[in-house]
Structures are given as structure tokens and as C-alpha cells.
Structure 1
């Protein structure tokens, strides 16, 4: 029987690898991973227990991303802590809002313009 174990990684094209590494380490708090010696620039990061973000440094075209189109979402344990972190790091973000299913979410953009959704199912739902 065919089965899918899960999503291993998300890959995005970036224009400036060093700038993206700084953002994903400092603002998002991702842990860098060892990366094979590809013949193009990039970096890998750990997300959660088994997922990864791969940045590929060969972007020359504009990014097409939006909170209602191409984006990726990170589930977090405490959305209020993340909002406080974004304020403390002077990171621009959209204020929290509720999805139609009652889950609260925050959106922000990385240096290339990719939208990232942060959401929490715990304690952040409409009653």
C-alpha cells in the first residue's frame, strides 16, 4: 500500500544567503544543519523534530508569495510569546487574527518576501 510518512523539507530560493541565514537564525530561531557540498550556495535548518527548511541562494526572479497564496506555516506552542519576540526584535508582522476555524495566526515576511504563518492550536482559539 502506498503511504506518505510526512513532509521532510520546504525549499525556497533566496537572493542573499547570508541575509536569509541571519533572519532564520535570529528572528525565527531555527537551528542550522549540516548541508551537503552542493555546487550552489544555500543553507539548511531544522524545523521541529523531523522537518527542515532549505534555502537555495540562486534566486534571480521576483518572489510570488502571499498569506493567501504561496506561504508556509509553522505551528508554535505559544503565539503570544512569538508576538512578544517579534516586537522585541523589531520584526514587522501582521497583527494576530483568527482563522475561520478559530485558530489564531500571525503572518510575517522574510527578507525575500516569502510569507510565513505562525499559529497555535493551544489556548489561542475563539471560545
Structure 2
């Protein structure tokens, strides 16, 4: 049976392409690359040699909890910058947390309201000030739904190549 082998790109709908491009370029350090000659506003960005982010401007509805997760190279710098910008959103998935594998996770909103999970490498050195911040909470997110369906493990990780 054929199977999917990797994510090539993620496409996000934005309400203002120029604002979104500034956020992804200036705040997350993504490199703009040429997009196809579509007849609508769009921009492509390179995460690495194999993965891209595609932004496209439409007047669509945005998901409250749906998100993409992006690994950042310096979670400390990114945390304090996102806090300064006021874009950390604790409403859908709770406060900034350290996952059992050691990775820090936080959720931010881009200028169009798309939810982006920002994650550190599990072995990243974490600034102790993050653990003392009012936006941080110990333990994984608890919804209170008590519905334990799915594939779960105490050894779960976001990083399967480690």
C-alpha cells in the first residue's frame, strides 16, 4: 500500500498577505521563495530544503484550535518576543508548557488569527525565567473532557528522529 512520506508544505489562509509576510519573515525568520503565478495573493516560504509554508489571502473563517507546529532554534528568544508582541494565545490549548519529552510548547496567533504552535527541541536549554512567568504552567494541557480515545503513550514525543 502506498503511504504519505513527509509534509511538503502547509497552506494557511490569511486576511492580509503583507502583514502575514512580515510576521513570518521578521518574527519567525522564514525565507521567502518564488511562488507560482497564481491569480490571487500568495507567498511561499522555506522552512528547510524540503518543507514550505504557503500563505494565501482569502476572506475565510479561521480555526480556533487547529494549528501547525513549528520548531524554533531559540525558544527563549522567541518566547520573550512573542510575549512582547502580545500574540501568545492561552485560550485554545492552555499556557506555555514543557512537554514530557522536554520540549517547550506555546501557541501564538499570526496577524490573521491562524494558530501556530512554537516548539523547542527537547534538549534545548530553557531560560529559568520562562518557568517563573505567569504564562507558564507545569504539566501537559488538561481539557477536562475525560475522553481518552486515540493512540497515546507516556513516551510520546514531537521528535521521532531522536
Length-normalised TM-score, structure 1: 0.80
Task: Please identify runs of 4+ aligned residues in structure 1 that moved more than 2 A.
Answer: 1-5, 84-88, 98-103, 123-126
Q: How many residues align?
A: 121
Where does residue 92 of structure 1 map in the other structure?
Answer: 87
Where does residue 48 of structure 1 map in the other structure?
Answer: 48
Where does residue 23 of structure 2 map in the other structure?
Answer: 23
* Greater Rg over alpha carbons, structure: 2
User: Do the aligned residues in 1 keep the contact of 2:87 with 2:110 (CA within 8 Å)?
Assistant: no
Higher strand share: 1
Question: For structure 2, which runs of at least 5 residues remain unmatched after alignment?
Answer: 90-94, 127-137, 139-162
Alignment pair present for 1:123 and 2:124: yes
In the alignment, the residues of structure 2 paired with residue 122 and residue 100 of structure 1 have an alpha-carbon distance, to the nearest angstrom, of 12
Question: For structure 1, which runs of at least 5 residues remain unmatched after alignment?
Answer: none
Length-normalised TM-score, structure 2: 0.64
Alignment pair present for 1:76 and 2:72: yes
- Cα-Cα RMSD: 2.4
